Every structure is written in structure tokens, then in C-alpha cells.
Amino acid sequence: MLGFQALGSALDDMLGRDPSVFLLGEDIADPGGGVFKVTAGLSSKHGAHRVRATPISEQAIMGAAVGAAVAGMRPVAEIMLMDFLAVCLDQLSNHAAKLRYMSGGQTSVPLTVRCAAGAGMQFGAQHSEMLEAWLTHIPGLKVVVPSNPADAKGLLTACILDPDPCVIVEQSLLYFAPPQPVPVGHHVVPLGVAATVRSGRDITLISYGRQVHDAVAAAGVLAADGIEAEVLDLRSLVPLDERAVLESVARTRHAVVVHEAVRRNGFGAELAALISESLFDELGAPVARVAGANTPIPYAKPLEDAFLPSHDAIVTAVRATLARSRVRVAG
Amino acid sequence: MDDISVPADIGPDTLLEIFTVATRIKVCDEKFRSLVLAGQVSAQYYSPRGQEIVSASVGSLLRPDDYVVTTYRGLHDQIAKGVPLRELWAEFFGKATGLCKGKGGPMHITHPQSGLMVTTGIVGSGLPIGAGLALAAQLRGTDQVTVVNFGDGASNIGAFHEACNLAGVWKLPVVFCCHNNLYAEHTSFEDGTSVGRIADRAAAYGFPGVRVNGNDPVEMLGAAAAAVERARRGEGPTLIEAMTFRFYGHQMSDQNEYMKPGELAAARAADPVVAMRKWLADTAIADEQRLAGIEADIKAEVEDAYRFAEQSPVADLGEALTDVYEEALA
């Protein structure tokens, strides 16, 4: 199954199970089924009142989703591209994230926000950003970034079931990546549980989303030199599987964080700080970060490629980390 | 209220109820304001004094399961929706017994049992949320109505226009109730708003807009009743522009230097709660003894709420870390 189909099957499953679930977003109804086809067929099957095409009104979409959630519904709001969250960040940050706290726990906002994100399709600076660091900085929100179709289905389902506001960041290149097996029917990947994609003893590559694949590719290159890299797919950033991160790095004593978002104040900085605070004495070398350049995202293909962290950059970062290590590693 | 005949379709009980609620708001406000000014309680408080009749009239039409959204200047809307006074006062004092355990404060009151769902400190942001509450009712097929209260300044932010359009497109059961008190913070209505009447903006979204004297209970009740009934019948939203005035400026430290000369004095001289009291007596809906009895009862009720708040314990420090998520994250 392709990534966009996996997400659609999660929505289909949840619409079928729970009458309080409904979807709203621009162009999501049939015959179009959304610009990325994630919701194709759902309004025909579940009704246009539950799969609601909205005007182009991000504030109204997000605000209506917040209000409906406060009233006990489980809305899934689609904000077409993550960059557009800027238009409705008041509703997400000041309301969705804070209403439980400000009400002393009287109300909750069981809202799911879906947004496409990420570079690689030459959409230019306003349609390509990864802005998960904005969101992880806001107490009250949960944030997930799947790396493959099965996780996309399971994490989206977990978000809809969750009592708190969740944002699922769907990298648009993964919508159409080569198909992979996806469990049929109800499938939940719990929030806050990282996956070890590849085991290794020498260094831990910590990543999420599409860059997990770059990390795996880099690990393959390194293995040829006798360097065994462990690859951790975080899957969810809030809640974060701190234990999985720290256990792995405690074993390998080296870590490189890989993400697509710009390096400065990116989520990698949080991970590097977490590891350093917890494992300073065990670390063989400082935690390294491989991330996007500190620029808006360019349009021209060679420039866009240069913006993105490559698996070559990961290989280089691993070698540099091990070269300055206080610990002797093979290779 | 020049015409002192009593409208046939509004019973005396309704009018007395509106007066009672308006008086409760007025007494609460006066007491709380004096405590803040005396330094006995530390709060960022925005007084709705002068706007009581708007909320009391709308509130008399709503059921407990109807939803209300209001703003940081929201004491009148909260009391009119039936939020319990003791816990409301305790929340204003930041006490453990407060509605929101002291975490919300005057700008963030919530009490779902009363239907008071959200109080927001961000101007204009309540309208899309109100549309969402109304959408929930529409999806469930209930006849619940949502009333969103906001000021004239809010009608200039994008969220107002997006929410009105969405509510118009989907015929949501919502009443957008603008309390036009003529000032958006320190900016006058005409200096900040491109139209002479906010009610006119409803036409752009395909639903009725009406401007009324919000300080006149008969006029206010008539407009609100039409809007609430229209929403309950599933015919969609209404925008009410209730003309009123705030007696104490934008915030407590406000010296009102931006106001027109004489405007504030004239408004206070026409105090809508005092005017309604006089009207009830003049029309013989209630005699002096009855009105004085209502006022005495309310004073005792407010005194009780104040004492409850004052004597309640402050929030436990451990509470600071709860309610961020349903369960604490590892």
C-alpha cells in the first residue's frame, strides 16, 4: 500500500468505528478526495457531512475543529501544507494546546491535525517546510512524524483515539514512495514508542520521518567499513521515547541526530541536549546533528537537493564523530 | 425604554429574571473591582460594568446545554449563563476551589455544566471555536444553540470573517453577539472599523444582522429571541450588534484619556441596570419592596461567594504540572 492510501485507510477505519469522528479540510471531499488523494472515496462512503470540504479558511477550520472537540467530537482537520499552520497558529497554540490546562482539566481537545510537509517536490519556500520544532515547543500538543505507510496508518489512528490535540506531519514524498505492507483493518501504533530500524553497536543514528531512510542508507555504507550503526526511528516527538534514545546511546556511546528541518533550534538540538545532560560521562564524542540548511527552501532542483541533508552528510558526520571519540571503535 | 407599556409577549417573570441577573453581574463587578483597587486581590480584570443587560437578556433565553463562548471581559456572560458564583469567585482569586483550580483566572473561565465552554483572552478568536461548538450540535442532530460574545474590535480580525463565512455556508446554529461598547482597547469604533454598523457585515456572509440598543432589555431580548429561535430551527446564524458602553475603560489602570469628552459621564448617568430598575417600578412590574429584596438577596449571595473565595486554600503547587495532557507524559 502507498503512504497516502495507508492514511486513508486509517481515516476510513475510524470513521466507521466512531460516529464522533469527522474530517474537515480544503478539497477533501470527492470527486477530488484531497490534493494528495488521502481522503479519496471517504465522503462517498461516509457522507459529505462527515467528510466536510471547507472554504479556504485555515483559522475557521482549526477553530471549528477546536470547538467541536471541546464539545466531545473527534475532528480530524486537514491543513493542506504545514507552512499554512502559520495562518491558524493562534487556534492551535493558544486554544487547542491550552484549553485543558486553563480549564483545570474540565475540557479536553481530542483533535487531530493532519498536514503535508517536507521538501523534495520543488514546491518552493512556502510549501515545503518541516516545522515540527514550532509544535514541540508548545506544551499541550502531541506531534508525530511517520516514516513509512504502516506507521502512518497506526500513528494516525492513535492520534484520533488520543484525548489530546495531536499533529501528524505527513511528508509528501512518502505519500508516493514505493508501496509497503500495511495491516488491514484497525491498526494502532502507540504514541511515544520508538522503533529500532537497524541494530548496531558503534553509533546511534536518531531520526524520524523520511530521513530515517537516509539514515538506513548511510548505515549500509558505513557497514562496508565495519562501522555498525544503530538506526532509531522516533515516530513520535511528543511524547518522546526518551528511554529508547538513552538506552541505545548508552550502549553505542555515540549519536548523530538526523532531520530535514533547518538545523538551528531544530528538534535535533533538543535531542542533543537530552543525550548530553543524561549521558555526558558515557559519551565518546559530542552529539552531532545533520539537518537542513538555515535557509528558506529553494525551488531549483540542485539547490533543493543541497538544502536537504543527504546520506553522504550522515556518513561524514558519523566518521567525524568516531574520529574524535575517546572510545576505540572498529573501522 | 421610553414607552413604558410592557410588551405582551414578554412576561414579568422574564423581565425580573433579567433584572436579577443584571444586578448580580453589577454587584459582583463592583465588589471585585473594589478589591482589586484596594490591593486585596491581584488580578488582571476587565470590567463589563455597563454591559449587563446584553448578557442577562441573552442568558434568559438559553438552556444549560446551550453553549456560550466569551472573552476576557466576560464576567457578565459567565454569570448570565449560570456559572456558580462561589467557584467563579474562587477562580478569580486563583484558589484551589476555583472552577479551573486557579489555573485559568478571570480571562480563562470554563464551566461545561453551565455550558460556558471557553473564555478566551485573544480578541476575535472565539468566533471560529463557537462555529465548531455549533457544528458539533449540528452533526449530532441536537437543537443546542451556541452564542459567541465578542466586542466591536473583534469584528476586525480575520477570524471573525472566516467564522462568519463558515457558519453561513454550513448554516450553523450559532448567534454571533457583538457587544459594541464603542472602544477596541483604546481605539474608538469609528477609528478602527470600516463600516458604520457591524451588523451590516452579516450581509456579506448571507445571514441576518441586526443592530439593537443592548441596554434596553425589551429590544435586546427581542433580537436575541429571534436569533436563538432561528438557530434552534436549523436556519443558521445571526449577527447581533448590541450597542452598549463599558464604564471603566479597557483595563483597571485605564484613565480613559482617549474617550470623547462627556461620553463616559453620559453613559454612567444612563446606567442600564439603574434604568431597568426604574422602568420595572414605573410599569408596576415590581414594587420597591420586591426590587429591594432582590438586591438584598444578591448582596448576601455575592458576600457569601467572596468569603468562600477568600477563605479557600491556594492551589497545591503540584497542580501546576497536571492537566497539560490527560495523563502526564513520561
Of A40, A24, A17, give the one whose Cα is nearest residue A76.
A24
- Nearest-CA distance B105 → chain A (Å): 8
pLDDT > 90: percent of chain A: 98
More confident residue, B257 or B229: B229
Residue A240 pLDDT grade (very low, low, confident, very high; cuts 50, 70, 90): very high
Mean pLDDT of B82-91: 98
pLDDT higher than 90, residue B247: yes
Question: In this structure, are residues A234 and A209 in contact, taking their beta carbons and an 8 Å threshold?
Answer: no
Residue A223's pLDDT is what? 97
A49 carries an active-site annotation = no
Residue B86 pLDDT grade (very low, low, confident, very high; cuts 50, 70, 90): very high
B326 belongs to a structural domain: no
Q: Which domain holds residue B266?
A: 12-313
* B103/A22 touch (CB, cutoff 8 Å), yes or no: no
B30 belongs to a structural domain: yes
Question: In this structure, are residues B67 and B115 in contact, taking their beta carbons and an 8 Å threshold?
Answer: yes
pLDDT higher than 60, residue B1: no
pLDDT > 70: percent of chain A: 99
Whether B156 and chain A come into contact, CB under 8 Å, resolves to no
pLDDT higher than 70, residue A21: yes
CA closest to B138 among chain A residues: A49
Q: Structurally, how many domains does chain B consist of? A: 1
Nearest to B129 among A95, A103, A192 (CB): A95
Taking contacts as CB-CB distances below 8 angstroms, the residues of chain A near B101 are 104-105
Mean pLDDT of A207-219: 98
| Mean of the per-residue pLDDT values of chain A | 97
B281 belongs to a structural domain: yes
pLDDT higher than 60, residue A6: yes
Cell of B25: 453581574
Q: At what angle do helices B217-232 and B52-59 cross, to 10 degrees?
A: 40
Whether B134 and chain A come into contact, CB under 8 Å, resolves to yes
Mean pLDDT of B201-214: 98
Whether B65 and chain A come into contact, CB under 8 Å, resolves to no
Catalytic residue among A95, A127, A187, A254: A127
B291 belongs to a structural domain: yes
pLDDT in tens, B142-188: 999 999 999 999 999 999 999 999 999 999 999 999 999 999 999 99
* B100/A102 touch (CB, cutoff 8 Å), yes or no: yes
CA distance A322 to A163: 43
| B contact test, residue of A98, A101, A144, A245 with most B CBs within 10 A | A101
CA closest to A89 among chain B residues: B125
* A94/B120 touch (CB, cutoff 8 Å), yes or no: yes
pLDDT in tens, A99-116: 999 999 999 999 999 999
B3 belongs to a structural domain: no
Whether B14 and chain A come into contact, CB under 8 Å, resolves to no
* Interface A:B, Cβ pairs < 8 A: 157
B2 belongs to a structural domain: no
Residue B316's pLDDT is what? 87
Residue B131's pLDDT is what? 98
B73 belongs to a structural domain: yes
Residue A146's pLDDT is what? 98
Taking contacts as CB-CB distances below 8 angstroms, the residues of chain B near A60 are 128, 131, 159, 162-163, 165-166
CA closest to B130 among chain A residues: A67
pLDDT in tens, A47-69: 999 999 999 999 999 999 999 99
- Nearest-CA distance B296 → chain A (Å): 32
- Kindly report whether the global pTM for this prediction surpasses the value 0.90: yes
pLDDT in tens, B48-76: 999 999 999 999 999 999 999 999 999 99
- Nearest-CA distance A237 → chain B (Å): 12
Taking contacts as CB-CB distances below 8 angstroms, the residues of chain B near A101 are 103, 323-324
Mean pLDDT of A23-32: 96
Nearest to B323 among A66, A105, A142 (CB): A105
pLDDT higher than 60, residue A220: yes
Residue B8's pLDDT is what? 74
CATH number of the domain residue B246 falls in: 3.40.50.970
* B99/A91 touch (CB, cutoff 8 Å), yes or no: no
B176 belongs to a structural domain: yes
Under 8 Å CB-to-CB from B70, ≥6 apart: which residues?
Answer: B77, B78, B109, B116, B118, B119, B120, B126, B148, B149
Taking contacts as CB-CB distances below 8 angstroms, the residues of chain B near A106 are 99-100, 110-112
Residue B7 pLDDT grade (very low, low, confident, very high; cuts 50, 70, 90): confident
CA A63 and chain centroid, separation: 22
Whether B153 and chain A come into contact, CB under 8 Å, resolves to no
Mean pLDDT of A188-207: 98
Taking contacts as CB-CB distances below 8 angstroms, the residues of chain B near A66 are 128-129, 132
Mean pLDDT of B1-27: 87
Taking contacts as CB-CB distances below 8 angstroms, the residues of chain B near A64 are 128-129, 131-132, 135, 163, 166
If you write DSSP's letter for every residue of A104-148 in order, what string do you get?
TTS-----EEEEEE-SSS---TTS----HHHHHTSTT-EEE--SS
Residue B4's pLDDT is what? 65
Whether B324 and chain A come into contact, CB under 8 Å, resolves to yes
